[in-house]
Amino acid sequence: MSLTAISANLSSTKLTLPVAVFGMMLGLAGCNNASTPTENVDAESATTGTEQSSTEQEVAKDGATGAGGQTVTIYSSRNEQLIKPLLDRYTEQTGVKIELVTDKTGPLMARLQAEGKNTPADMLLTVDAGNLWQAAEQGLLQPVASSVLEKNVPAKYRDPKGMWTGLSLRARTIFYDPSKVDAAQLSTYADLADPKWKGKLCLRSSKAVYNQSLVASMMENLGEEKTEQVIRGWVDNLATDVFSDDTNMLEAIAAGQCEVGIANSYYYGRLLDEKPNFPVKIFWANQGTTGTHVNISGAGVITGSDNPDGALKLMEWLSSDEAQGLYASSDKEYPVKDGVDESEMLRSWGPFKQDSISVQKFGELQTKAIQMMDKAGYK
C-alpha cells in the first residue's frame, strides 16, 4: 500500500471535534495553567491586525497528495502574512501542499490536547522557547533526529532531546527616547532597576512569555536573589501601568510617556517600516556582561502526526539558507543559521553579543520566573 493510500484510510477515521469540546478544553487548560499564567499571546498580529481565530476552523485530514506528496498541516501562532510567503515557496519547490491553521499558542495547544491521536496537525509553529518547552512538557511533540537541523541550527537554539528547534531569532533588548536619554547612560537590564530611572521605565506585562523567558535568563545569569531585587526595582521605576504588547510600549516611549523600555527587536523593525522616523532608538543590553537576551521562533513535530517525515522535511527546509534569508527580510527577525545575511535594517542596528544561554532554560525556569515576578509585584 502506498503512503497515499495509508493516509487516505487513516483520514476516514479522523473527525474534527466539535467547537464546544475545544471550548471546554480551553477552560481546562486555563485551570491547569493557573500556577503558570503565561499570556500565550504572541501579539504577532498586533501591528497588522490580521490574526484569525481558527478555533472554529475545520481542518480535514484529507491526506491529499500534491505532486510532491502528502499534505503537511501546521498549527501556527505566527502571523499568517509573515509565514505564508515562506510556505508558498516550499509548495512551489516541492509540490507539497500545506494546510495552515492559525491561532494563539494557548488555544492551539489546548486543541492538540483535545484532538490527541486524531489531530490533523503535523507541525507546531510558534514563538518563544518557553512555549515550545511547554508543548513538549505536555506531550504534544515527538523527538526528531536530523543531521540537517543539527548542522543548520546551533545547539543552544534546539531542544537537547530533539522535541523542537529554533528557526529564527529575536533579541529582547532596551529601547530609549534619544531626546531624553544618552546611550552612554544605558548598560544592562538590571541597571533599569536603578533609582535614576524612577518614573521613566515602561514595561510589557509579566504575563507575556517573552518577559518570563527574559526573567528566566536573568535568574540563570544573576541568581535568584539579585533577579528579584532587579524586578522590584523595575516595578518601582515604572512610569505607567504595564502594557499588553511590545508595540504599545514602544509607542509610549515615542509619545514621551516614558524614556526607556524593553521589547523584541522585530516589533521595532515593523514600526520603522511603517514610520521611518519613529523617534525611538535601540540599545543592545548587557554587551559588557552576559550579552543581549535572544529567543527563538521555532517548530516541533506533533505527537499524533500522520506525516512526521513531511513535517521534518519542511522544518529542515525552513532552516535552509533560502528560507532563513526570507525570515530575515520579511519579518525583521535574525536568521538562526550562521552565515545567512541579515536584512539591511537589521544590519543598520549593528552587531551585538548574544547571551550564550541555551534557550531550553527559559522553559525549565518558567514557573519559578512567574512566581518571582508575582512575588515582586510585577503585574
Q: Is 236 exposed, middle or buried (0-12, 13-18, 19+ CB in 10 A)?
A: middle
Of 156 and 270, CB closest to Fe ion? 270
Report in angstroms how near the CB of residue 267 gets to Fe ion at its nearest: 7
Of 78 and 361, CB closest to Fe ion? 78
Of 249 and 376, CB closest to Fe ion? 249
Within residues 74-133, the interface with Fe ion by CB under 5 A covers: none
Report in angstroms how near the CB of residue 127 gets to Fe ion at its nearest: 6
Of 14 and 204, CB closest to Fe ion? 204
Of 228 and 331, CB closest to Fe ion? 331
List beta partners, residue 334.
Answer: 169
29, amino acid identity? A
Within residues 314-333, the interface with Fe ion by CB under 5 A covers: none
Other beta carbons within 10 angstroms of residue 273's beta carbon come to: 12
Of 41 and 340, CB closest to Fe ion? 41
What is the bridge-based pairing of β-strands 123-127 and 72-76? parallel
Report in angstroms how near the CB of residue 44 gets to Fe ion at its nearest: 5
Binding mask 40-59 for Fe ion (x = CB under 5 A): --x-x---------------
Report in angstroms how near the CB of residue 78 gets to Fe ion at its nearest: 9
Report in angstroms how near the CB of residue 310 gets to Fe ion at its nearest: 27
Of 144 and 336, CB closest to Fe ion? 336
What is the bridge-based pairing of β-strands 201-202 and 98-102? unpaired
Of 47 and 257, CB closest to Fe ion? 47
Report in angstroms how near the CB of residue 79 gets to Fe ion at its nearest: 9
Report in angstroms how near the CB of residue 265 gets to Fe ion at its nearest: 10
Q: How many residues bind Fe ion (CB under 5 A)?
A: 2
Other beta carbons within 10 angstroms of residue 348's beta carbon come to: 11
Of 49 and 160, CB closest to Fe ion? 49
Report in angstroms how near the CB of residue 274 gets to Fe ion at its nearest: 16
Binding mask 24-43 for Fe ion (x = CB under 5 A): ------------------x-
Other beta carbons within 10 angstroms of residue 197's beta carbon come to: 22
Q: How far apart are CA 217 and CA 57, in angstroms?
A: 37
Report in angstroms how near the CB of residue 321 gets to Fe ion at its nearest: 24
Please report, as ranges, the residues that interact with Fe ion according to CB under 5 A: 42, 44
